């Protein structure tokens, strides 16, 4: 592993030097040079170089906080050279926990403010109905004509969940099959927002984080969730669902 890391570090350190030349045709010549170099690599070198790319890509995608990749490279080289780290393992763990906590709390505040601002503006839009002040809203996309959903039965439906920015985080459409959900086991905003829906209806739900996952779960903390739901069948309360 030492050889792999050493080779990767030398390559990574050299990258800024190549990137500094902004003269005419530099990008093309650099690309051609890279292709020639790549063709001369052994399988082990190709694996090593790709490992470096993947590592840098993963570190650059850290959402909680920003790492200085130059210092990461220096730290790896120092470890290979047998030098001591600037922090002990205990100090590192403590400082990292503090940084992550501060970043998490900042993200919580930022997302909560965005959620509340969105709901405040959204309730003024045509067709938007507010079920719970500043917490839960919906808009009918298509009227239904079947049975009315009430209480907390099971429901056969299609759904697509997204964030404020439109990014989809989950959808039953990916499997091309509707899903049978017990509404006692979904987030409060989802079950409350579906009340009164008729079979065949398509409704968009806008759910405040207090009625969604809050700061828990796998999604970004305090995310406002938007669900487009199509109710296919409203089932009775006594219908059993295999989990």
Whether the CB-CB separation of 215 and 149 falls below 8 Å is answered with no
In the predicted model, is pLDDT for residue 239 greater than 60? no
Q: Are 223 and 135 contained in the same domain?
A: yes
Please identify, among 32, 61, 80, the residue that sits at the C-terminal boundary of a domain: 80
Q: Are 35 and 136 contained in the same domain?
A: no
pLDDT at 127: 97
Section 147-167 average pLDDT: 91
Please identify, among 31, 60, 80, the residue that sits at the C-terminal boundary of a domain: 80
In the predicted model, is pLDDT for residue 242 greater than 50? no
- Could you list the residue range(s) of the whole structural domain that residue 64 is in? 2-80
Whether the CB-CB separation of 183 and 191 falls below 8 Å is answered with yes
In the predicted model, is pLDDT for residue 63 greater than 70? no
Of 154, 156, 214, 207, nearest to 184 by C-alpha is 154
Task: Please check whether residue 240 lies inside any domain of the structure.
Answer: no
CATH number at residue 192: 3.10.50.40
Q: Are 124 and 225 contained in the same domain?
A: yes
Pairing relationship of beta strands 154-162 and 225-234 according to DSSP bridges? antiparallel
pLDDT 10s digits, 196-220 = 999 999 999 999 999 999 999 899 9
In the predicted model, is pLDDT for residue 73 greater than 70? yes
In the predicted model, is pLDDT for residue 152 greater than 90? no
- Give the containing element (helix H, strand E) for 228: strand 225-234
Q: Which residue has the higher pLDDT, 177 or 63?
A: 177
Q: Are 76 and 151 contained in the same domain?
A: no
Q: Are 122 and 29 contained in the same domain?
A: no
Number of structural domains found in the chain: 2
Section 216-229 average pLDDT: 95
Task: Please check whether residue 100 lies inside any domain of the structure.
Answer: no
pLDDT 10s digits, 116-144 = 999 999 999 999 999 999 999 999 999 99
Task: Please check whether residue 104 lies inside any domain of the structure.
Answer: no
């Amino acid at each position: 592993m030492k050889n792999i890391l050493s080779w990767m570090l030398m390559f990574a350190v050299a990258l800024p030097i190549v990137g500094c030349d902004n003269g005419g045709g530099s990008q093309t010549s650099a690309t051609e040079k890279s292709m020639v170099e790549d063709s001369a690599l052994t399988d082990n070198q190709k694996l090593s170089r790709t490992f470096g790319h993947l590592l840098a890509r993963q570190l650059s995608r850290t959402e909680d906080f920003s790492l200085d990749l130059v210092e990461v490279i220096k730290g790896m080289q120092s470890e290979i050279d047998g030098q001591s780290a600037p922090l002990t393992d205990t100090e590192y763990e403590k400082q990292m926990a503090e940084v992550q906590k501060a970043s998490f709390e900042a993200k919580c505040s930022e997302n909560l403010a965005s959620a509340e601002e969105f709901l405040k503006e959204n309730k003024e839009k045509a067709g938007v109905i507010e079920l719970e002040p500043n917490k839960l809203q919906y808009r009918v996309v298509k009227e239904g004509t079947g049975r009315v959903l009430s209480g907390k039965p099971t429901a056969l439906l299609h759904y697509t969940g997204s964030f404020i920015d439109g990014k989809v985080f989950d959808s039953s459409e990916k499997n091309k099959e509707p899903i049978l959900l017990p509404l006692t086991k979904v987030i409060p905003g989802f079950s409350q927002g579906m009340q009164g829906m008729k079979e065949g209806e398509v409704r968009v739900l806008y759910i405040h984080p207090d009625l969604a996952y809050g700061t828990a779960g796998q999604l970004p903390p305090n995310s406002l969730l938007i669900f487009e739901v199509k109710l296919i069948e409203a089932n009775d309360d006594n219908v059993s669902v295999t989990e």
